[in-house]
Amino acid sequence: MRLAFSIAYRFLKSNKEQTALILIGIIIGVSVQIFIGSLIDGLQISLVDKTIGNASQITIVPDGKDKYFVEDKSMLDTLENNNKLTAVSKAYDNSAFIKIDEDTYPILLRGVEFEDANMIYEFNEKLIEGDISLSQNEALIGSTLATDNGLKTGDNIEILTPEGVNETLKISGIFDLKVSNLNKTWIVMPIDGARAIFGNDNQLTSIEMQVNDVFKADTIAEEIKSNLNNSSVDVVNWKEQNQELLSGLSGQSASSIMIQVFVLLAVLLGISSVLAISVVQKSKQLGILKAMGIKDKQASFIFLFQGLILGSIGALIGSAFGVFLTYIFSVFVKGPDGMSLVPFYLDYKFVGMSALIAVVASTIAALIPARNTSKLNPIEVIKNG
């Protein structure tokens, strides 16, 4: 075995151009694979983050046609102790109207506990003016609502509920959630204040949550549902509400895998054919080795080792180059806002896997040439001089 390895190594070393050619092939293959894979992964992660990063990923809502459910301390405690959840925020929402001059506009009055809600919506970071106030008759409004109506921090606004209650709130701050619909309709205030307006002391309209692994939101939602065992609530997750996004993502993943498979296939065919030529080139040496008593298996290993050596070196340099390409892309390809178009994202498991596949595949590609050595008859080689 050691002899086979050293012969393999010498064959590769003596034929530098051929070796370089195969190596470049593997390096390009592996780096393209890692580049494309990481790019698509990064894209998807940023897309998912933009879509649901600041939204509820799992939501407990009242079951059926009910508008509210009763706040249950033990339920909230269980949720807060669930380590798969990164944020738990209870909310009391109700639709109402805002009265400006003589006109009224429909709004959604959201009562939250800001400490919890910030974990999801990051109001604290998205304020464009003012502060988050904890006072019961103060509220945050969206930037679109503010600019459309010339409202600013410190102004008073009049809220009209469908039940006919009239309440004046003071604007403590203005947020911009980057979603125009929310910026136009949301008025966010402390939960107790919102409850007081509607006269519902102990009710909730939803419990909003975020999870550590967004793609497991559906299974986590299922778990929560069965653990709660509460017929008055239902648990929904972002996946069932964003089917189109999901099918888009899986289509993208499938095409990414297709590209990777074909790149790999091209590389394999390259290795296999160059090594097959090398068997013919080295047939005299193989012939004499056989005459001197090398066994067919040992002779085959010369080529398997060549595949292994080429695959290992190629995979190593290829993964480094692929990571480098991905990094360069994320640094230099930027959107109009100066942010990188695709964030640099590296899944070490994916890189390691790609490298491993390249090594295994290169060795497998060497199988055909290796088998050809068994067919080589030393007399044929020696007879032909």
Partner 1 sequence: MAKILKLKDINKIYGDKIKTQVLFDINMDFEESTFNSIIGESGSGKSTLMNIMGTLDRATSGDVEINGINISNMNKNELAVLRNEFIGFIFQFHYLLPEFTVMENILIPYRIKNKNITKEAISRAEELMEIVGISKVKNNKATDISGGQQQRTAIARALINQPKIVLGDEPTGNLDSSTTEIVYDLLRDINQRYKTTFIIITHDKRVAEKADRIIEIKDGRIEMDISRKI
Residue written as token pair 């080139």: 281
Residue 281 CB, shortest distance to partner 1, in Å, is 11
Identity of the amino acid at 19: T
Terminal Cα distance for the chain, rounded: 28
Pick the binder of partner 1 from 75, 189, 236, 294 (CB under 8 A).
294
Q: Which of residues 14-43 bind partner 1 (CB under 8 A)?
A: 14
CB closer to partner 1 out of 241 and 298: 298
Beta carbon nearer to partner 1, 90 or 290? 290
Identify the CA nearest to 95 among candidates 201, 187, 192. Answer: 187
What is the smallest separation between the CB atom of 326 and partner 1, expressed in angstroms? Answer: 38
Integer Rg of the chain from CA: 32
- The binder of partner 1 chosen from 50, 67, 295, 334 (CB under 8 A): 295
190 binds partner 1 (CB under 8 A): no
Is 5 a binding residue for partner 1 by CB under 8 A? The answer is: no
Interface residue with partner 1, options 16, 226, 243, 292 (CB under 8 A): 292
Strands 103-112 and 186-190: what pairing?
A: parallel
CB of 298 to partner 1, least distance (A): 7
Task: Decide the pairing of beta strands 156-160 and 166-175.
Answer: antiparallel
Q: How many CB atoms lie within 10 A of CB 68?
A: 18
Instruction: Indicate which single residue of 42, 142, 287, 311 sits in contact with partner 1 (rule: CB under 8 A).
Output: 287
Closest C-alpha to 188, from 288, 258, 263, 121: 121
Stretch that binds partner 1, among 9-17, 170-178, 255-263, 334-342 (CB under 8 A): 9-17
Distances (CA, A) of 382 to 310, 377, 379, 385: 29, 9, 5, 5
Residue among 168, 161, 191 at smallest CA distance from 91: 191
- 189 pairs with which residues across the strands? 111
Selection from 114, 108, 48, 110 nearest residue 87 by Cα: 114
Rounded-to-integer distance, Cα 165 and Cα 148, Å:
24
Q: Which is nearer to partner 1, 73 or 383 (CB)?
A: 383
Q: How far is the CB of 3 from partner 1 (least distance, A)?
A: 4
User: Is residue 3 part of the contact set for partner 1 (CB under 8 A)?
Assistant: yes
Site string for partner 1, 366-385 (x = CB under 8 A): ------------xx--xx-x
Binding mask of the shown chain, residues 126 to 155, with x at each position contacting partner 1 by CB under 8 A:
------------------------------
Q: Which stretch binds partner 1 (CB under 8 A): 67-75, 148-156, 188-196, 282-290?
A: 282-290
The only residue of 290, 305, 323, 351 in contact with partner 1, by rule CB under 8 A: 290
Q: Which of 64, 150, 164, 293 binds partner 1 (CB under 8 A)?
A: 293
Q: What residues contact residue 335 under an 8 Å CB cut-off, 6+ apart?
A: 341
Are the CB atoms for 312 and 9 separated by under 8 Å? Answer: no
In whole angstroms, the minimum distance from the beta carbon of 355 to partner 1 comes to 28
Task: Name the residue nearer to partner 1 (CB basis): 292 or 339.
Answer: 292
Q: How far is the CB of 24 from partner 1 (least distance, A)?
A: 22
Cα(372)–Cα(228) distance, integer angstroms = 65
Name the residue type at position 271: I
Quick check: 301 binds partner 1 (CB under 8 A)?
no
Task: Name which of 291 and 331 has its Cβ closer to partner 1.
Answer: 291
3-state secondary structure of 315: helix
DSSP string, 7-31: HHHHHHHH-HHHHHHHHHHHHHHHH
Residue from the set 252, 285, 312, 340 that interacts with partner 1 by CB under 8 A: 285
Binding site for partner 1 (CB under 8 A): 2-3, 7, 10-11, 13-14, 284-285, 287-298, 378-379, 382-383, 385
